[in-house]
Amino acid sequence: AILSTGYQVAVLGASGAVGREVVRLFEQRSFPVTRLKLLASARSAGTPVPWRGGSIEIEAVAPDSFSGCDFAFFSAGASRSREWAPVAREAGATVIDNSSAFRMDPDVPLVVPEVNGSALTARDTLVSVPNCSAIILLMAVAPLRALGEIDRLIVSTYQSASGGGAAMMEDLLDQTRDSLEGRAPTPKTTPHPYAFNLFSHNTPIGPDGHNEEESKVMTEARKILGRPDLKVNVTCVRVPVLRAHTESVTIEFKDKAPSVEAIREAVSSFPGVRLVDEPQNNRFPMPFEASGQDDVLVGRVRKDPSHDSAICLMVSGDQLLKSAALTGVQIAEKLSELRKVVETAPRA
């Protein structure tokens, strides 16, 4: 529950897929917005966005855009975040940033509220939302920490077009239409044909052989879990799915692996996670069912026959919701609660 009377809020990147979801979630979750400013680049200025039965026009972001704002939600990319976050904070706003700009800064909390919400304090004025694949992974891994110490994670991702924003989603639709109508697909946002194809995630490959997406998941998982020693190996693949990422995860424990029944019970009782594990119906986590859902779906729970201390899972989650917009709004809700406690605490 939100404990404040209301906030002035700005959304930078309001023309994008994540920004639109943030605005929609304000209404769905009754986040107490008294004044909403929607910001983007000049080319998007004037675009109407639905709000409370009417609409609000997007404004071009400017130095005075954040004046009077309590919260500023950023989903416009790392370079924009680096440019405008200091401006917003100087104006008195708390910035909740959905880019990679500040995630690995040791002074900036990197938070999935259900996993490490205790990392937030009422004093925080800049909080990072983690990488989308890292969020989905850790929502599945976090419930298992009570069952034994985790030693290693091996992850393969199947990432949807929504991870590349509205333009990539539209590009996938266009390429699919072209392919079905007998025309050669012409990629606009991807390095290879996307329709009826898959390829290694379209981020640069580093000297260690991992692409940027894989490196983000590995480093961010360690920071969020407070486990700098955690062994993690990730392979990220872009697949022709419009929305919601899926992952195959092998989890190795220090000691004997917990039972399948214990894992299912732990997953079922964890907030924000839903167990989808029906071997008799071959029904497990799928992007088709995860799309539009707040919960992360976890299932296909089984022992690893090649390793006594390992278990395997499948995970699927909406990249635009829990993996981006929803986590950002939940962070604001948590900060609101923390600050209300400080405001109402008796003074010494």
Pick the catalytic residue from 201, 210, 236, 245.
245
Report yes or no: 150 and 144 within 8 Å, Cβ to Cβ. yes
* CB neighbour list of residue 98: distance below 8 Å, 6 or more residues apart: 13, 18, 73, 74, 75, 129, 324, 325, 328
Phi, psi (degrees; rounded to nearest 5) at 96: -115, 110
Closest-CA residue to 111 (of 101, 123, 97, 122): 97
Pick the catalytic residue from 132, 201, 236, 312.
132
Report yes or no: 129 and 238 within 8 Å, Cβ to Cβ. no
245 counts as catalytic:
yes
Report yes or no: 163 and 132 within 8 Å, Cβ to Cβ. yes
Phi, psi (degrees; rounded to nearest 5) at 51: -160, 115
Sole residue written with tokens 């909403």? 36
Instruction: Find the DSSP H helices in the chain.
Output: 17-28, 78-90, 113-116, 132-141, 165-180, 212-225, 260-268, 287-290, 326-344
| Total residue count of the chain as it appears in this document | 348
Give the span between the Cα atoms of 256 and 134, in whole angstroms: 25
Give the span between the Cα atoms of 96 and 114, in whole angstroms: 16
- The residues with which 127 forms a beta bridge, in sequence order, are 96
What's the one-letter identity of residue 212? E
Residues annotated as catalytic (active site), given as ranges: 132, 245
